Amino acid sequence: MQHTVIALMHDRPHAHNRAISLFRRSALRIDSLAVASTEQPELVRMTLVVQHDDVGEVVRQLDGLIDVVSVRDVTHQRVIAHEVCLLRVSQPGSRLGDLLRVANECDARVVEAAPHGIVLAIMGPPATITQGLERFRSFGIIEFTRSSRIAMPVTGSTGTSTPPHASAAIPASSPYTWQADGAVA
């Protein structure tokens, strides 16, 4: 089973390595790893996606590390999970209109147009990236790179309340709300 674990930790030398080592020693396959800054300059957020039936013990060990402030397995919570994909396709020539139509349907942006090809960016839930890549295959993908997943629990799914400035116009069934395992929530 795929698990998504989010850890908030101090941004200190070797802190990330100690955390990742716990997963490596437990022989868990890491599918995705993202470490990024947070709203607090001294902290980073690590998002790990791992394959295993039970990550409970590793999560408890991770929570015991001195540099870890908090850790959560958010697999069964509603989360907003996004990735970014950059892909280069062959110059479409007479099919440029088709390419732009597919880009529009996939919410992809053209970030570079050159004689040797067109670079597009897709951002969204993991399933959106996978579907977008499939749609662009017919245009001849020259290369692509896909980022690691970042995730954040949906407001209210961890006991937090909606901030007063947040928009109530986003429905609970928004296409951007996904289970951490990629399933629609």
What residue has token string 């101090």?
10
Neighbours of 39 (CB within 10 A): 6
The superfamily CATH assigns to domain 2-75 is ACT domain (3.30.70.260)
CATH 1.20.200.10 applies to domain 80-146: no
Mean pLDDT (whole number) for 89-95: 91
Which tens digits make up the pLDDT trace of 30-76? Answer: 999 999 999 999 999 999 999 888 888 889 999 999 999 999 999 99
Q: How confident is the model at residue 157 (pLDDT cuts 50, 70, 90)?
A: low
What is the pTM assigned to this prediction?
Answer: 0.76
In the predicted structure, residue 15 carries a pLDDT above the cut 80: yes
Neighbours of 161 (CB within 10 A): 8
Contacts 24+ apart (CB under 8 A), 162-165: none
What residues does CATH 3.30.70.1150 cover in the chain? 80-146
C-alpha–C-alpha distance, residues 108 and 113, integer Å: 13
What residues does CATH 3.30.70.260 cover in the chain? 2-75
